Structure 1
Amino acid sequence: METNASPLPSHEGSMGFLSRLLAVYFEPGKAYADLSRKPNWLGMAILLAALALTLVSVSTLRMDPETYMRKALEQNPMSKKLSEEQKRLAIEQSVNNPGRRLIGVIITPVAVVVTYLALAGIFLLLFVISGGIITFKQSLAATVWGMGPPGIIYTLLAGIISVMKDSSDLDLDYRNNLITSLNIVINQKDHPLLHSLLGSMDVFSFWTIFLLAMAFSHMMSSKISTGKAAVGITLLWAIYVAGKVGMSAIFS
């Protein structure tokens, strides 16, 4: 008597967190195909928040309170309206209340998560309008895993620079301690608009756009191609850059 055995269903094993992270750097297509099958985002978000918290602590707490407040006033466009006496009082208050610096450190991981949530919502709207079928969870996973890997490299490099530089030369935003764009050749005070524009054009920005496009294309089963996804994401990035340059024009 002949027996017909039913073939066992084959399930391609999903990657672990570390395997997927390494694959993003070396085999991004494989990594994002795995992400589309299992769109988890929490582990990457926690890692990014922890890295940001650590690096902000290093770059901020290395400064004495007076230096910290002076730099904060220099980088705050609204402080240009303050008189020298008001700035002096603000610095004195900061020196007498060092807990203010800790607030900025503490809210950093929260700000990281909120930023990814907001961007996931924007990307979701973009691709739904473009005809894609995607949920918010999938959009969040693609956002975190598209922006996260370049962010990890950038943060680690910025952290190394933050440790090596003299504390008086550190920027309050640890990301600005690593120069990866052409704005290094432009004086910010003399050409604020051009400095802001060139500051957005660096290899990490373009790498992030590429990975985001791949992540969303795979998440939507390639119903929207990587190229089409890249066009949409680049358009959003251009709007962001234009807004940043516009703010520089307003407060310069």
Structure 2
Amino acid sequence: MSAYPEALPPGPIDQYDNQPPLTAVQRITNIFYAPSKTFADLRRNRSWWLAFVVMALVGYLFTTTALTKVGPRGLAESSIRNNPAQAEKMQNASPEDRARMISITASIMQVSLWAWPVFILITAAIGALLLWVGCNFILGGSGTYPGMFAVMIFAYLPGIFRSLLTSAVLLFGDTENFNLNDPIGTNPGFYLGADSSVFLKTFLSSVDVFSLWILILMGIGGAIVARVKVKNGVAMVLITWLIFALGKAAITAATS
């Protein structure tokens, strides 16, 4: 979280080195319409704390809205209802066991909602490692791990729109059928019925507008920070995501 400028790693000088410095606020706003400027500025200064604070505040707005409008028990019941394995287990359980399952799930979900900024840091740390390895050892770049961590944090920023839209759905829409794992129709899987192929529904649920936006930003940012071609960085990230999404869909279908 250092605000000190990062020394430029060895590599060819390119157009991103000639960009005027950005303020912390400009780096956040540029990520939505001129992301290359934000990522180029990370070569100069990899500070990411303000972007993280913005995500945390918006995230807690969603947390407060969800716990107020739906409640921990409602969120737990929705999670169980939308998970075929858990739903079957709940159906076959005794009333006492059902109450216990709902209580445990509600407690876990409540803690997770309040602790989600910690999960962002953990997933960013893991993603940064993968991005650093891919950009440096596969694409031949020269990025640093702290630089890739900053890329991950900034790449997550479009997620604030997902949180805001979901909060709006909770405030003004139907909360009875709310699904925390897939709350808004920004992916094709959202519109498939319960009798659809588990593999297809799981895979298409991964083809989410905001997820793809974030993935593309990861590719752009990793490439710029590592000083490799942007198209190669984006291609590497999307191919990795495709393999993961197909694997996830296959495992989900096999265990359902």
What TM-score results when the alignment is normalised by the length of structure 1?
Answer: 0.81
| Preserved CA contact (<8 Å) 1:20 1:31 | yes
The answer on 1:240 being equivalent to 2:244 is: yes
The secondary structure found in structure 1 opposite 2:180 is coil
> Equivalent residue for 1:3?
none
Change (3 A) 1:18 1:91: farther
> Equivalent residue for 1:24?
31
Change (3 A) 1:13 1:53: same
Following superposition, the deviation at residue 240 of structure 1 comes to 1.9
Change (3 A) 1:70 1:135: same
Matched to 2:186, the amino acid is T
Matched to 1:212, the amino acid is M
Change (3 A) 1:56 1:240: farther
Change (3 A) 1:142 1:84: same
Find the aligned partners of 1:151 and 1:165 in 2 and give their Cα distance.
Answer: 20
Please, which of 219, 227, 234 is the counterpart of residue 213 of structure 1? Answer: 219
> Equivalent residue for 1:194?
200
> Equivalent residue for 1:144?
153
Find the aligned partners of 2:163 and 2:118 in 1 and give their Cα distance.
Answer: 17
Find the aligned partners of 1:12 and 1:184 in 2 and give their Cα distance.
Answer: 41
Count, aligned residues = 237
Please, which of 67, 71, 76 is the counterpart of residue 69 of structure 1? Answer: 76
Matched to 1:138, the amino acid is G
Calculate percent identity across the aligned residue pairs: 18
Matched to 1:235, the amino acid is I
Find the aligned partners of 1:65 and 1:25 in 2 and give their Cα distance.
Answer: 33
Change (3 A) 1:195 1:113: same
Find the aligned partners of 2:199 and 2:156 in 1 and give their Cα distance.
Answer: 26
Change (3 A) 1:47 1:87: farther
Find the aligned partners of 2:110 and 2:190 in 1 and give their Cα distance.
Answer: 30
Following superposition, the deviation at residue 134 of structure 1 comes to 1.6
> Equivalent residue for 2:189?
183
Following superposition, the deviation at residue 233 of structure 1 comes to 0.5
Please, which of 215, 225, 230 is the counterpart of residue 229 of structure 2? Answer: 225
| Preserved CA contact (<8 Å) 2:63 2:114 | no
Structure 1 runs not aligned, ≥5 long: 1-10
Change (3 A) 1:226 1:87: farther
Matched to 1:22, the amino acid is T
The answer on 1:132 being equivalent to 2:136 is: no
Q: Let me know the Cα RMSD of the aligned residues.
A: 2.6
Deviates more, 1:55-64 or 1:160-169: 55-64
Following superposition, the deviation at residue 204 of structure 1 comes to 2.5
1:39-188 matched pairs, under 5 angstroms: 39-64=46-71, 66-76=73-83, 78-79=85-86, 82=89, 84=91, 86=93, 88-93=95-100, 99=107, 101-130=109-138, 131-148=140-157, 150-173=158-181, 176-188=182-194
Larger Rg: 1
Q: Deviations over 1:193-234 (max 9, x none)?
A: 1111111223323322332222122212x3x10011011101
Find the aligned partners of 2:209 and 2:113 in 1 and give their Cα distance.
Answer: 27
Change (3 A) 1:60 1:239: farther
Deviates more, 1:85-94 or 1:102-111: 85-94
Q: Deviations over 1:119-168 (max 9, x none)?
A: 111111112212111211001011111232x2122222222122212321
The secondary structure found in structure 2 opposite 1:177 is coil
| Preserved CA contact (<8 Å) 2:19 2:37 | no
> Equivalent residue for 2:3?
none
